[in-house]
Structure 1
Amino acid sequence: MLDLTDEQRAFVSAVADFCRREAGTRQQRDALTNGGREAHSPELYRKLADLGWLGVSIPEEHGGAGGGMVDTCLFLETTARGLAPIGGFTTSIIVAGAYERFGSPEQRKTVLGGVAAGRIESIAMSEPEAGSDVASLACRAEARDGGFVINGQKTWCSNAHLADGILLVARTSGAPGEHAGMTMFQVPADAPGLRISGIDTMGGREVNDLYFTDCLLPADAVVGTVDQGWKQLMAGLNVERLILAAVMLGTAQRAFDDVLGYIKQRRQFGRPIGSFQVLRHRMADLATEIECTRLLVYRTAELVDRDPGTVLPRETSMVKLKATETARRVALDGMQMMGGYGYATEYDMERLVRSTIVSTVYGGTSEIQREIIGKTYGL
């Protein structure tokens, strides 16, 4: 049992009630997401902004609630479990953390205050030849006429098509393969010279290619320090991995809830299929894995809240690995136990399978997380 305050318990209850009321049925969710083809509902997002919940971890001076990572994880787990279509929030809160740590006062005011009010942010880091190997990025920012000119391509940029702003990581010096020489930039989504092109995926419209052609940015678009983008990225790993883990924890719990309800009702051979030992034991294993994941998520969140400036490569890689792999297992086992109905679009399970499979890829693959964990043990 998590040791939550009364205020936190009331917050979780209120968020859960909101999800049931606003997105509790398949019909509601389809209406909010163009039949499931979109991962984000602007209508629902505005309501959450009006309630003040999008600013759960935004400092009070920028219009937020000033909460910590535990509070953020509670919100993410609960909305994911409630299938609230707010895909734009994850990248927004990740980007907000970068601006809180390194942004200028004006940048923090615009981005942090904007996120609390419903502004959506995206991050552009991956490239066609630079995925897990971030150091290979080649998109270049050339200092010119008192500003910077951006040329190059970014790919797999989540929510860029929804975004008001994009946090760009580009090379300002050095050559691909070097960690030194990267810089973060604040880019308006409608900046001249930037073209955003959607990538069709199993999950619908979620990710995008970004093409920069002589995109001119002013000098004050730099976020933090020129050539220090790699160190700044590393400082944000705690938040990024925990956010993704909390979302997948809620998704795993939803998949479990759905299949549990199904196997209690579905009858074969004269009795509910959940009464057969093979399914009963499988559900016991999944419940145990979910609870282990929950404890790891919130233990790691507590460590971050205790000392936000400390980077926790082992713990955050473990939590991202455990949460995404557990969610994938729960959804795939859920589909198996539901049989053909688990594969049918009539039910949510097939959608949960799609979202959990890709979770082991984005934000650092499971293989990369294992590499990081191994290195922390001197291997």
Structure 2
Amino acid sequence: MVEFTPEQQAFAQAITDFCEREVGTRAKRDALTNNGADAHSDTLYRKMAELGWAGINVAEEFGGAGAGNVEMCIFLEEAVRNQAPIGAVGPTLITAAAYAKFANDNLRRDVLAGVVAGDSLSISMSEPEAGSDVGALTCRAEKVDGGWKINGQKTWCSNAHFSKSILLIARTDRSGGKHEGLTEFHIPADTPGLTISGIDTLGGREVNDLYFTDCFVPDSAVVGTVGDGWKQLMSGLNTERLILAAMQLGLARRSFDDTLAFITDRKQFGRPIGSFQALRHRMADHATEIACTRELVYSVARAADAHPERMMPREASMVKLKATETSKAMTIDGMQMMGGYGYAKEFDAERLMRGAIISTVFGGTNEIQRDIIGKTYGL
């Protein structure tokens, strides 16, 4: 089983204690999320920031905790397991890692200081005709005097409606292959020429369309090197997929715990329904899958800490695939085992199921993850 140092164990317990105090009841969570309509509570997240958790993987020189991937995964797993409504944490930590690697000194310090204080960030890649095939994007940035003029549409941009800024991937050159001529730009959310329009989903308003109309940004807004956007994106996949996996591990554990409590308490035919073999065996299978997933998450996290410059396409895709499929299976089965109560909003089962199912789509669909894994075996 996964073993932590005493310090890591204390850290995990501190997160649990904080969440029990701040969001330990449905009433407290509803008060922070407009009765569940909002996925992110800025108030709660900034309280976490005061404890140093929002900047968990930000270097100490920028005010962060300077922790590794293992500690980052502990934070994400425990926060999600304890139902902290901090839906912006995943995109923020993913985006912050890109600024830490590639932004110029002034921009890096400014953005990362905001992350440490609890600011939310977004990253924008997808377009109406460029989802899994990110290299097909057409949103363009044209060089003009003193900067860049951006035109085009982006879609499925998580949390842009309350983020401080957006890391945009746009096309700056069409002369080469589809993975060439892409560049990352820092776009403050209030930049003139940018319109943010929400998309209604099963989870409420979590994602957005972005429309750029002659949107000007200065040369200093370039993050990294002009034309190297694809390489920069690929270099962040270890972190991105670990973040998604750790969060879904926490969600799967929440679903398991809630389902176990329900089937232990709920009685039919004169006995707890969990005592029937059909349910008991299902829970045994899910417990095993969650334990395997946890081993994989922290194995990959430790490998990423030991070899920070190493690309791990196979392992990163495996951990994202395994964690999201595990959480999807657990939450769907959890709803089934709870019967009608699993479908009722009185319980959290239906919300957990929605959060698990979409996880198999964002961050690279699980079909894409399987394709990547297959290619690493020469297939």
TM-score interval, smaller chain = over 0.9
Instruction: Tell me the TM-score normalised to structure 1 length.
Output: 0.99
Paired amino acid for 1:347: F
Instruction: Output the CA distance in 2 between the equivalents of 1:339 and 1:145.
Output: 63
Segments of 5+ residues of structure 1 without an aligned counterpart are: none
Shift in alpha-carbon separation, 1:176–1:368, aligned structure 2, 3 A? farther
Paired amino acid for 1:187: I
Instruction: Output the CA distance in 2 between the equivalents of 1:10 and 1:356.
Output: 28
Instruction: Output the CA distance in 2 between the equivalents of 1:81 and 1:31.
Output: 19
Instruction: Output the CA distance in 2 between the equivalents of 1:7 and 1:56.
Output: 14
Question: Which residue is equivalent to 1:122?
Answer: 122
Question: Which residues in structure 2 correspond to 1:206-355 (within 5 Å)?
Answer: 206-355=206-355
CA contact (8 A) 1:88 1:162 kept: no
Instruction: Output the CA distance in 2 between the equivalents of 1:90 and 1:79.
Output: 11
Question: Which residues in structure 2 correspond to 1:58-69 (within 5 Å)?
Answer: 58-69=58-69
Instruction: Tell me the TM-score normalised to structure 2 length.
Output: 0.99
Question: Which residues in structure 2 correspond to 1:170-185 (within 5 Å)?
Answer: 170-174=170-174, 178-185=178-185
Segments of 5+ residues of structure 2 without an aligned counterpart are: none
Paired amino acid for 1:170: A
Paired amino acid for 2:105: P
Give 1:88 deviation, angstroms. 1.1
Instruction: Output the CA distance in 2 between the equivalents of 1:355 and 1:155.
Output: 19
- Percent of matched pairs sharing the same residue: 64
Q: How many residues align?
A: 379
Paired amino acid for 1:11: F
Instruction: Output the CA distance in 2 between the equivalents of 1:143 and 1:5.
Output: 51
Instruction: Output the CA distance in 1 between the equivalents of 2:287 and 2:110.
Output: 42
Q: Does 1:87 align with 2:79?
A: no
Paired amino acid for 1:27: A
Spell out structure 1 runs of 4+ moving beyond 4 A. Answer: none
Q: Does 1:111 align with 2:108?
A: no
Give 1:146 deviation, angstroms. 2.1
Shift in alpha-carbon separation, 1:280–1:176, aligned structure 2, 3 A? farther
Paired amino acid for 2:126: S
Question: Which residue is equivalent to 1:96?
Answer: 96
Paired amino acid for 2:229: G
Instruction: Output the CA distance in 1 between the equivalents of 2:118 and 2:244.
Output: 20
Question: Which residue is equivalent to 2:153?
Answer: 153
Instruction: Output the CA distance in 1 between the equivalents of 2:53 and 2:147.
Output: 36
Question: Which residue is equivalent to 1:6?
Answer: 6
3-state SS of 2:36 partner: coil
Paired amino acid for 2:266: R
CA shift digits 1:303-360 (9 cap, x unpaired)? 1000111110000000000000000000000000000000001000000011101000
Instruction: Output the CA distance in 2 between the equivalents of 1:111 and 1:315.
Output: 29
CA contact (8 A) 1:122 1:159 kept: yes
